[in-house]
Amino acid sequence: MSLRALCVPLALSIATAASAASLHGLARAKDGDSLMVGDAEVRLFGVDAPEFDQSCKRGGQTWACGSEAADRLSQLVTGKEVRCTSMGTDQHNRTLGRCTVGMTDINRTMVATGYAVAYRRYSSDYNSAEETAKANKRGIWAGTFELPSAYRHDDRPITSKLGAPQLPEVVRVRPANSIGACNIKGNQGTNGWIYHVPGMPYYAQTRAEQLFCSEAEARAAGYRRAKVC
């Protein structure tokens, strides 16, 4: 057998091992869809939970769905041995993981209990779990809410009421220390992660991938100010 023939299966086995890399250790929740496993930050793959400061409505009342989602994840993982299979990394260099505690699939549980939605933009793995939560009016599906991705990006509200697409009133809650409009646009350009301030050239044409309330907040997230020619 040639050396080249030997190298091909070896390369494939190395690639397979790398894709199946896993993290394990004692964990704690950071919010509804991210956690620390040991010293590593993991973002749950294929699911999207309400942001920590996000509010939803049910029975005509506002409730803190974001912090409650974080509490639910905390109940699942805090102080327990968690194992996460890496699916790659995100733009913030966090591991994207499918995580379990014993036989419990954490990603699926968060969606099935209604404290996260299936992140269909990236995966269809949890669509059935979302349909179950929706049919049983669990968690955020018991009322109205804005999709977490829309809440983060300040897009047109996309809401769901008792499982049916609606456009009712959507409650928006910004952090208490936010001053003024959160209208600084973060976007990945050819020169990396940059942000545009109102009044700058190309601000109007820029599609925001993330919005910030101050330039300091944008810089802290790893963005830099767009250059003005």
- Identity (one letter) of the amino acid at 55? S
| Cβ-count burial 124-151 (b if 16+ within 10 Å, e if not) | ebbeebbebbbeeeebbbbbbbbbbeeb
The mean pLDDT of 151-175, rounded to a whole number, is 40
- Chain-centre distance for alpha carbon 60: 27
The mean pLDDT of 150-174, rounded to a whole number, is 42
Task: For residue range 105-144, list pLDDT tens digits in order.
Answer: 999 999 999 999 999 888 999 999 999 999 999 999 999 9
Range with the lowest mean pLDDT among 100-109, 130-139, 211-220?
A: 211-220
Domains defined for the chain, CATH in brackets: 21-52+65-140 (2.40.50.90), 184-225 (no CATH)
Give the per-residue pLDDT at 63.
94
Range with the lowest mean pLDDT among 45-54, 144-153, 174-183?
A: 174-183
- Chain-centre distance for alpha carbon 11: 33
- Identity (one letter) of the amino acid at 47? V
The mean pLDDT of 146-154, rounded to a whole number, is 81
**Does the structure show a pLDDT above 50 at 72?**
yes
Q: Indicate the Cα dihedral angle 34, 36, 42, 46, nearest 10°.
A: -40
- Chain-centre distance for alpha carbon 146: 14
Range with the lowest mean pLDDT among 1-10, 45-54, 67-76?
A: 1-10
- Chain-centre distance for alpha carbon 48: 4
- Identity (one letter) of the amino acid at 184? I
Range with the lowest mean pLDDT among 53-67, 84-98, 147-161?
A: 147-161
